[in-house]
Amino acid sequence: MNWVCKPYLDKFVIVFIDDILRYSKDEKEHEEHLMAILELLKEKELYAKFSKREIWIPKVQFLGHVIDSQGIHVDPAKIKSVKDWASPKSPTKIRQILGLAGYYRRFIEVFSKISKPMTKLTQKKVKNEWGDKQEAAFQLLKQKLCVHQFWLYLKEAKILSYISMLRTKGWELC
């Protein structure tokens, strides 16, 4: 889908596999963007399934994030259990926690510095001793994830549109 939407990527479109996220400043621009995308899809013989399309919405959940006119946020549903996490004691558990936290690293300032004491315990030939440094890093990561702070912004995006596309060559999939 990236090659199809290439002319509009990072201008007013974000694509992930067969999902298209469209963002606009106002209703007029939103309508223009919608028409441009629909024309492009028609040209390439791609069809949107109406039951999967959402347009004229102020907020959308997309790839584990919530996107609205204020910017990109951590999806609260994805991290609601974070505050109840117990301290990980094994390298496997540490990797699992660092994996989720790493997905949201863009929301955590100096993520690699904070997570370093935990990351060291996942390396081979390092004795697995959970200490005060690791516990402090773990608690700080949990705190940062639960704050839902955001600092990624879509340029003046006010209206969002999310279209899930199916390459059906005209056939409606059930």
Condensed to tens digits (0 to 9), the pLDDT of residues 120-149 reads 999 988 888 999 999 999 999 988 887 754
Angle at 51 (CA atoms; ends 45, 54), nearest 5 degrees: 90
**The pLDDT value given to residue 153:** 42
Q: Where are the domains of the chain?
A: 2-70+154-166, 73-146
**Contact call for residues 151 and 44 (beta carbons, < 8 A):** no
**The pLDDT value given to residue 62:** 78
Under-50 pLDDT residues of the chain: 149-174
**The pLDDT value given to residue 84:** 83
Structure tokens belonging to residue 33: 């963007």
**The pLDDT value given to residue 47:** 75
Of the candidate CATH numbers 2.60.40, 2.115.10, 1.10.760, 3.30.70, the domain formed by 73-146 belongs to 3.30.70
**The pLDDT value given to residue 148:** 54
